[in-house]
Structure 1
Amino acid sequence: MSEPIPTRRLIGRLLVLVVAMFAFGFALVPLYDVMCDAFGINGKPSGNAYQGSQVVDEARQVRVQFLATNSADMGWEFHPKADELVLSPGAVGEMLFVARNPSDRPMTAQAIPSIAPSEAAAYFHKTECFCFTQQMLQPGERIEMPVRFIVDRDLPRDVHHLTLAYTLFDITARKPPVALNGG
């Protein structure tokens, strides 16, 4: 007994739909990468971001100020090694931030950066940053965490001062630290 033609058509259309959904699932990863590259989201710099071949603009100086604050529930000591750094656009800058866990328990933290003025953020490129990963410290442990960056030489000429500020958040409840001695 053969199926009526409308049922065959429906089955055929459903099979085409399943194949199209499967193909779309495979296409999502490259589409996502294209969108991230185009809009500079998800930590992927957009096409006009620093690519490692900039020339230093020796004729200009930019003052980069560093700030460190804790969120309301974070008890760590947290500060930059220096308050500011003066450099030429295109040059690599580096600052160390110090964190210490004065509590009697292991804790995990995450630093969230912000840059001011906001219009200059597109010209500030972190090449290495402790904010890219979570920091876990044992009781009393102290760590020095580097941030390496380049202020793009295309920074608008009227911007002479940038502020890189970090806020440190306690995320221990979301990601409990692992004790060193396995206990």
Structure 2
Amino acid sequence: MSEGISTKRLVTRLGLLVVGMFGFGFLLVPIYDVMCDAFGINGKTRGAAYEGAGSVVDETRSIRVQFVSTKAEGMTWSFGPQANELVMHPGETREMIFTAHNPTDKPMVAQAIPSVAPSKAAAYFHKTECFCFTQQVLQPGERVEMPVRFIIDSALPGEVRRLTLAYTLFDVTERMAASLDLASMQHPD
């Protein structure tokens, strides 16, 4: 009888362990986002709500902003900025246009994930408008210009003279197909 009780106790403990592991795995993404936001790591930047006090233009400094675009494995779109870099003053609002083209014969959905380097500068880089805030749906053969409007806070540490804004473009078509009903979105021939 004690062997049956110990087996039951073991199964219960293993079941609780599985539930705990699932819960921990489920919470990892929000925990990661909170930690990156709190510590400014992994190039996480603040979104459209920036109305910062550091928005006074500092014309005594110039910052070189480089733009990098990559595509995740399996992404067939062409994607990139209109220019590789620009020079600006902290506190100044600037814009860069990225272009994307869907060369396939099917509608596709993409999501761009941004990153800022050096990571200590991410807290001073504020996007006020960005194609990365939403998923992009492109029809077959469609080409689109997508702006990113941003401000570099004038409180940016003086030793930072160069920033890199990088985007990785991911194909999320399969994940979004059911909710967007992509088949009905195709243009009639």
Normalization by structure 2: what TM-score? 0.70
Residue 111 (structure 2) pairs with residue 110 (structure 1): yes
**Paired residues, number:** 145
Superposed CA deviations along residues 142-179 of structure 1, whole A, max 9, x for unmatched, are: 00000000001000000000000000000000002342
Q: What amino acid is aligned across from residue 81 of structure 2 in structure 1?
A: P
Counting only pairs closer than 5 Å after superposition, residues 141-152 of structure 1 correspond to structure 2 as 141-152=142-153
Report the equivalent of 2:102: 101
SS of alignment partner, residue 121 of structure 1: helix
The answer (yes or no) to whether the contact 2:107–2:186 under 8 Å persists in 1 is no
The answer (yes or no) to whether the contact 1:50–1:125 under 8 Å persists in 2 is no
SS of alignment partner, residue 67 of structure 1: strand
- Bigger Rg over Cα: 1
Q: What amino acid is aligned across from residue 179 of structure 1 in structure 2?
A: M
Alignment gaps of 5+ in structure 2: 1-33
Q: Distance in 2 between matches of 1:155 and 1:53?
A: 9
Alignment gaps of 5+ in structure 1: 1-34
Q: Distance in 2 between matches of 1:148 and 1:130?
A: 10
Q: Distance in 2 between matches of 1:140 and 1:106?
A: 9
SS of alignment partner, residue 174 of structure 1: helix
SS of alignment partner, residue 100 of structure 2: strand
Distance 1:60 1:83, change over 3 A: same
Report the equivalent of 1:154: 155
Counting only pairs closer than 5 Å after superposition, residues 124-143 of structure 1 correspond to structure 2 as 124-143=125-144
Q: What amino acid is aligned across from residue 83 of structure 2 in structure 1?
A: A
After superposing on structure 2, the runs of 4+ consecutive aligned residues of structure 1 that deviate more than 3 Å are 38-45, 180-183
Q: Distance in 2 between matches of 1:152 and 1:180?
A: 42
Deviation at 1:44, TM superposition (A): 6.3
Report the equivalent of 1:6: none
Superposed CA deviations along residues 11-58 of structure 1, whole A, max 9, x for unmatched, are: xxxxxxxxxxxxxxxxxxxxxxxx9xx95999866x9x6436721000
Report the equivalent of 2:59: 58
Deviation at 1:116, TM superposition (A): 0.3
Deviation at 1:127, TM superposition (A): 0.3
Normalization by structure 1: what TM-score? 0.72
**What do you get for the CA RMSD once the two structures are aligned?**
2.7
Q: Which has the higher helix share?
A: 2
Q: Distance in 2 between matches of 1:57 and 1:88?
A: 6
Identical aligned pairs, as a percentage? 57
Q: Distance in 1 between matches of 2:38 and 2:106?
A: 41
Q: Distance in 2 between matches of 1:108 and 1:90?
A: 34
Deviation at 1:180, TM superposition (A): 3.7
The answer (yes or no) to whether the contact 1:50–1:152 under 8 Å persists in 2 is no
The answer (yes or no) to whether the contact 2:116–2:165 under 8 Å persists in 1 is yes
